Structure 1
Amino acid sequence: MSSKDVELSSVSDVRAIIKEEPKKNESPQSSSSLLIVILAIGLIIGIVALVIAAVNLGRGGGGGDIIINQGGTEQQVTSDEKIWMIAIGHYGSNVEYLDEETYTIRGFNPDILDAVCAIANKNCKLVYDVYGNCWDSNAGQRPRGGQGLMGGWYDGCSGWIQTFDRLLTYSFTKPYMEASKVAIYAKNGSTLPYDDLTNRKVGFADGWAYDEFCLARYTDIEGSRLAQGQIIHFASADRLVEALNNGEVDVIFVSALGQYEEDTTLMKITPPDFDNKCLKGGNSIMTRHNNPDFVIWWNDAFDLLVQRGRYDEICKTVSERHGHIPGRDYTELCIGY
């Protein structure tokens, strides 16, 4: 045998003995392991997704729930993130007053606001502010929008009657309360006639509808167009009464509220059928012209309040709920009675 034959035989024998190693990616065991890992990862991702979905569902879509509770009358859960700020500026009658025990704003007005906001599923908050920040009036000057409402400090001012001047500046919701009557009061025992105010000093409540421009509409009253020196504005009802009793003014021209009607130091000198010549509509929420969404949802919810009989219920329980505070009866407060 030649050396060449030995070499070839050796190579052949070696190839026969040494087998090729299988490729790693063709190993059945490795493929199975990779599949298990992929399935495990997919299962973990699915479980995490289910947990996140369950948490979001429990939170009501991710928004924090807010409880409406004005004066303890209603409770409603809402996911509306916006807080609708509504200003109130008068205490002292059953329409609105400060409950000293609970230190909450109560009365017919808050009852209506609370119920309407609950139906609309809106988060509403009553805030106290002086009247002048809703509607500003200064002696002898044309009244105008107050800096609070015009400046967006709040969305609306509650319980404002619709007048010719105010409608030039603001929008209003549907009325939910009858406007109070207007009257002229003098000091108890006075003999002054109501239909002649010539040279008389007249007191007005600052920011209220019944101002010197309203009085000027009464052309049947002699001297109803007052000179600058006859016009005096006061910031509160208490100051008006005080000014009348100490002689700062001769008469006051104001809304015929219970606090005036029941004050024994005052005497109403206008007749019972004294006409209201300044009124365009009843008490409403007053808001800016650029806030139409507020008016829309409020009016829709108020209509439902009436249809469901809740408005009637609130009206007829005024004395039961707030009778310890002076004010008008529900037949005088509510629309349609």
Structure 2
Amino acid sequence: MEPSSSEKNLYRKDSSSESNGHSTLYLVLLVAAVCFAFAAFIIAIVSLTKQNVTSSPSVVNVGGSGGGLTSSADYDDDKVWLIHTGHGGTNSEYISEETGRVEGFNPDIMNAVCRIANKNCALVFDVYTNCWDNNAGETARGGVGMMAGWFDACGAWRVKPERQRTFAFSDEFSRGPYQGFVTLPGNPKDFNWKDITGKTIGFLDGFSADEHCLAKTEGTIVGAVLQEENIKHCIDFDECYDLLVAETIDAMFFSASKFRGRTEVELVSDELNFCGVGGFGMMTRFDGKLIDWWNPAQAKLLASKEYHEICQDVKITHGHMPGYAPEDFCLGL
């Protein structure tokens, strides 16, 4: 039995709607597929373009010449190696009035080694006691900065047995200095350096020429083992000099670089050598990695003409500052 006319019309209407719905769905899917394909094409083009672009990373290198690493191909890792430096006020390291940067022999050496090793290095200016610290009457010890890992290395520190108990050292790149007693010119208080019993002595905080170094001269210098009240630590040369002028201390005990070329003080003793077992190198934590690449690169520098040029710059570029002569501390001269 066939459906009535009204039933036929209803059937045809439903069939038409279903057909239109399928057509719309197919259209939507087709548009989406075209859009997806177009987006994939654009992403592929951008990716291909990026592969052909060479970017130049920002250069962070040790103070001095500022030369060295210039493109991503020059780097063998992305790490910035942080090297502590202080302001010694000598031609070894000082703050330049012109550039505001730490300059001198030590920064020149560190800049050259980092460049040879293709390492991205940066000097971090901080007080010396954050590398090595000692308070009057106490055993010298590692500074909080090195112990806490603020730096990868402290630059240009002298090898001493006390420091070797706490830190590792690279090969040396300069000889260790001598030490001596200095007073005001003319030695107005007639300071006798061979017998310092009861005398008050000034030392630079954190330096190798400390009271522990002086104590090693016992037998050569009478009274070399000082009482706590006879030990005065200074943050820099100027503070110790002020104490000397004020007669708070009887003399200063310094490394040679601190009094060479200065007219405001006078060396009143022999030049002594009791403070170290080696020259200057990079001081790091035992778990540090800097020495692994530093020593090979430094060996290349020391064997090159550039090392001797850096040594000569001590009296040329940095000659306006007091401190060493090249033959005093440069290896091979």
TM-score, structure 1 as length reference: 0.80
Q: Which residue of 1 aligns with 2:229?
A: 229
Structure 2 letter corresponding to 1:250 = D
Quick check: 1:193 aligned with 2:192? yes
1:328 corresponds in structure 2 to 324
Residue number in structure 1 paired with 2:58:
66
Q: Deviations over 1:12-63 (max 9, x none)?
A: xxxxxxxxxxxxxxxxxxxxxxxxx9xxx7x997996575255235346xxx
Which structure has the larger Rg over C-alpha atoms?
1
- 1:177 positional shift: 1.7
State how 1:28-67 maps to structure 2 within 5 Å: 49=44, 52-53=47-48, 55-56=50-51, 58-59=53-54, 65-67=57-59
Q: Which residue of 1 aligns with 2:12?
A: none
Check if 1:280 corresponds to 2:277.
Answer: yes
Aligned position for 1:31: none
Q: Distance in 1 between matches of 2:314 and 2:198?
A: 42
Q: Does the Cα contact within 8 Å between 1:164 and 1:278 map onto a contact in 2?
A: no
C-alpha displacement of 1:312: 1.9
- Return the offset for 1:73: 4.3
Mapped to 1, the partners of 2:264 and 2:307 lie a distance apart of 36
Residues of 1 paired with 2:325 and 2:48: CA distance? 53
Between stretches 189-198 and 120-129, larger displacement belongs to: 189-198
1:175 and 2:167 equivalent?
no
| Per-residue deviation, 1:159 | 1.3
Q: How many residues align?
A: 293
Aligned partner of 1:67: which letter?
A: V
Alignment of 1:76-115 (within 5 A): 76-77=69-70, 78-79=74-75, 80-115=77-112
Aligned residue for 1:158?
155
Task: Give the 3-state SS of the residue equivalent to 2:278 in structure 1.
Answer: strand
> In structure 2, what is the equivalent of residue 306 of structure 1?
302
Which structure 1 segments of 5+ residues have no match? Answer: 1-36
Tell me the distance in 2 between the aligned counterparts of 1:256 and 1:51: 62
Structure 2 Cα separation of the partners of residues 147 and 277 of structure 1: 26
Q: Is the 8 Å Cα contact of residues 256 and 323 (structure 2) preserved in structure 1?
A: no
Q: Tell me which protein shows more strand as a share of its residues.
A: 1
Please give the per-residue CA displacement for 1:249-302, whole angstroms capped at 9, x wherever unaligned.
111111112x5233333221112xx331121111111110110x2001011111
In terms of mean alpha carbon deviation, does 210-219 or 142-151 score higher? 210-219
Cα RMSD over matched residues? 2.4
Q: Which residue of 1 aligns with 2:121?
A: 124
Check conservation: 2:260, 2:322, Cα contact below 8 A.
Answer: no
Please say if residues 68 and 74 of structure 1, whose CA atoms lie closer than 8 Å, have aligned partners that are also in contact.
no
Secondary structure in 2 matching 1:114: helix
> In the aligned structure 2, how far is the partner of 1:328 from the partner of 1:217?
24
The letter for the 2-side match of 1:298 is W
Retained in 2: the 8 A contact 1:244–1:250? Answer: yes
Unaligned runs of 5+ in 2: 1-32
The 2-side partners of 1:50 and 1:310 are apart by 47
**2:74 matches 1:75:** no
Once residues 53 and 195 of structure 1 are traced to their aligned partners in structure 2, the CA distance between those partners, rounded to angstroms, is: 77
